[in-house]
C-alpha cells in the first residue's frame, strides 16, 4: 500500500483557509473579488459557521491594517515596497494590493509554498483571465520548474519546503539574478514585509527562527539595507483545556503543530522575533483586536450578518490566535522614519 505523505494534512490546511475566506466573502464579512478563482470548484458554496466567519474577518482585518500601515509608511517616504508571503497557499493578497490604492507602492510580491500547492496556484492563474491580467497577461508570465514556479514583472511564485535551510532553498531564487533579469527578485535596498499567515506553527521553533534569521541577515548584509518588517499570524497558548481540545481536533486530522507545542505565550511570540534580530516587536490576540481595534460600526455591521449564539466560545477561540509583528531597521536614519 502507498504510504501517506506526512505533509499532505499540512497542505490540506490551505484548502481550509481558502474555503473559510470564500465563506466570509459570500456572507459579506469581507470583500475579495479574486478568492473564487483560487478555490476548487467543489467548494464554491462553502458554508462555514458564524464563529469561523468572524474569526476569518478579524484575522484578515488585523493583518490588512498592518500591511496597509507598512505600505502607507513607504509611500510617505517615496519608497517602493516588497512583500514576501511564506506559506502563502491560495492567498489573494497580491491581487487585492495590485488592484487597490497602494498598487503603485508595491514593487515585488513573492509567494512561497510547497511545489504541490504552487503548481495548483500557477495553473489557476494561467486558466483565469482576471488573475492573469493583473500579472500583465500571459505574454509577461514565465512558468518554470515543471509548473511549480511562476515569474512575472511584479509577482513571483516559488516552490520550497520552508523547513529546509534557506541557504539551499531561497538564497538562489531570491538573491541571484535569473530568468533574464539583471536584478535579483528581492532587493536588500527596498523596504520589505514578510508575511507568515498560519504557517510557522507547522515547523519547529528553531527551524522557523533560522528562516527569520536568514531574512534579517540578508537585509543587514551591507549595512545599507532597508527596513524589514514581519507579520505572523498563528495559534498559541494551547496548554489550557480549550487549547488542548483545539490541538486534539487537529491531531485527529493528522496535523501536528511542532511550532506551537512548546506552548508559546504572547510574550514569547515577541521574544522569538527579538532573538532573531528584529529591533521591536508587538503581539495581540484576535480577542484583543476584536475588542479594541475594530471600529464599533464595523462590529455592529458584522453582528447583523449572522446569528451567533456562542459568544463565550468565540472569545475562547479568538484568545488562542495571535498576530505578532516586528521591525528590523538597519540604519539609524531609517530608525526615526519607521519608528512604530
Ligand atoms: N497563508 C495562507 C492563508 O492564510 O490563507 C495559507 C495558510 S495554510 C493554513 C498553511 C500554508 O502553509 C499551506 O499552504 C501549506 O502548504 C504551507 N506550508 C506549511 N508548511 C510549509 C513548509 N514547510 N514549506 C512550505 N509551505 C508550507
The candidate with the shortest Cα–Cα distance to 246, out of 319, 308, 147, is 319
Q: Per the domain annotation, does 198 fall within a domain? A: yes
Look-up of cell digits 512558468: 143
339 pLDDT higher than 70: no
What is the DSSP code (8-state) at residue 227?
P
DSSP string, 280-306: EEEEEEHHHHHHHTS-HHHHHHHHTTS
ipTM: 0.99
Percent of the chain with pLDDT over 90: 77
Q: Per the domain annotation, does 3 fall within a domain? A: no
- Verdict on whether the full-model pTM lies above 0.80: yes
Q: What is the pLDDT of residues 88-121, one digit of tens each?
A: 999 999 999 999 999 999 999 999 999 999 999 9
Check whether 259 is labelled as a binding-site residue.
no
Q: Per the domain annotation, does 130 fall within a domain? A: yes
The grid cell for 337 is: 522614519
The residue whose CB lies within 8 Å of the most ligand 1 atoms, and thus the one to mutate among 114, 124, 149, 203, is 114
Q: Per the domain annotation, does 190 fall within a domain? A: yes
Q: Per the domain annotation, does 2 fall within a domain? A: no
Q: How far is the CA of 39 from the centre of ligand 1 (A)?
A: 15
The residue whose CB lies within 8 Å of the most ligand 1 atoms, and thus the one to mutate among 7, 10, 83, 166, is 10
Give residue 59's domain range: 8-338
CATH of the domain at 202: 3.40.50.150
Pairing of strands 280-285, 321-328: antiparallel
Q: Per the domain annotation, does 177 fall within a domain? A: yes
Nearest CA to ligand 1 atom 15: 11
Q: How many domains does the chain have?
A: 1
Q: How far is the CA of 113 from the centre of ligand 1 (A)?
A: 6
Q: Per the domain annotation, does 234 fall within a domain? A: yes
| Count of Cβ atoms closer than 10 Å to residue 3 Cβ | 5
Distance (Å) of CA 9 to CA 182, 203, 250, 253: 39, 13, 9, 7
Q: Per the domain annotation, does 249 fall within a domain? A: yes
What is the DSSP code (8-state) at residue 150?
E
Amino acid at each position: 500500500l502507498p504510504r501517506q505523505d506526512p505533509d499532505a494534512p499540512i497542505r490540506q490546511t490551505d484548502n481550509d483557509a481558502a474555503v473559510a475566506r470564500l465563506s466570509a466573502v459570500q456572507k459579506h464579512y469581507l470583500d475579495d473579488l479574486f478568492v473564487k478563482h483560487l478555490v476548487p470548484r467543489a467548494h464554491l458554496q462553502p458554508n462555514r459557521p458564524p464563529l469561523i466567519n468572524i474569526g476569518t474577518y478579524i484575522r484578515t482585518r488585523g493583518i490588512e491594517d498592518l500591511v496597509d500601515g507598512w505600505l502607507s509608511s513607504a509611500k510617505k517616504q517615496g519608497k517602493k515596497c516588497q512583500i514576501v508571503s511564506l506559506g502563502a497557499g491560495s492567498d489573494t493578497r497580491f491581487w487585492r494590493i495590485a488592484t487597490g490604492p497602494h498598487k503603485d507602492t508595491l514593487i515585488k510580491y513573492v509567494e512561497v509554498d510547497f511545489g504541490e500547492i504552487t503548481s495548483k496556484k500557477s495553473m489557476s492563474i494561467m486558466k483565469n483571465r482576471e488573475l492573469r491580467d493583473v500579472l500583465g497577461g500571459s505574454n509577461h508570465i514565465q512558468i518554470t520548474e515543471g509548473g511549480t514556479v511562476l515569474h512575472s514583472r511584479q509577482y513571483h511564485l516559488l516552490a520550497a519546503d520552508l523547513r529546509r535551510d534557506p541557504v539551499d532553498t531561497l538564497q538562489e531564487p531570491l538573491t541571484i539574478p535569473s530568468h533574464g533579469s539583471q536584478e535579483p527578485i528581492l532587493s536588500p535596498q527596498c523596504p520589505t514585509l514578510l508575511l507568515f499567515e498560519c504557517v510557522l506553527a507547522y515547523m519547529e521553533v528553531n527551524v522557523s527562527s533560522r528562516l527569520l534569521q536568514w531574512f534579517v541577515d540578508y537585509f543587514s548584509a551591507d549595512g545599507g539595507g532597508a527596513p524589514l518588517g514581519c507579520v505572523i499570524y498563528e495559534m498559541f497558548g494551547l496548554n489550557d483545556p480549550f487549547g488542548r481540545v483545539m490541538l486534539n481536533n487537529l491531531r485527529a486530522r493528522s496535523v501536528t503543530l511542532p511550532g506551537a507545542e512548546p506552548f508559546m505565550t504572547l510574550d514569547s511570540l515577541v521574544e522569538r522575533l527579538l532573538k532573531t534580530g528584529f529591533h521591536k516587536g508587538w503581539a495581540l490576540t484576535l480577542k484583543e483586536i476584536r475588542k479594541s481595534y475594530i471600529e464599533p460600526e464595523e462590529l455592529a455591521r458584522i453582528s447583523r450578518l449572522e446569528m451567533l449564539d456562542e459568544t463565550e466560545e468565540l472569545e475562547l477561540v479568538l484568545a488562542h490566535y495571535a498576530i505578532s509583528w516586528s521591525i528590523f531597521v538597519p540604519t539609524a536614519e531609517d530608525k526615526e522614519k519607521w519608528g512604530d
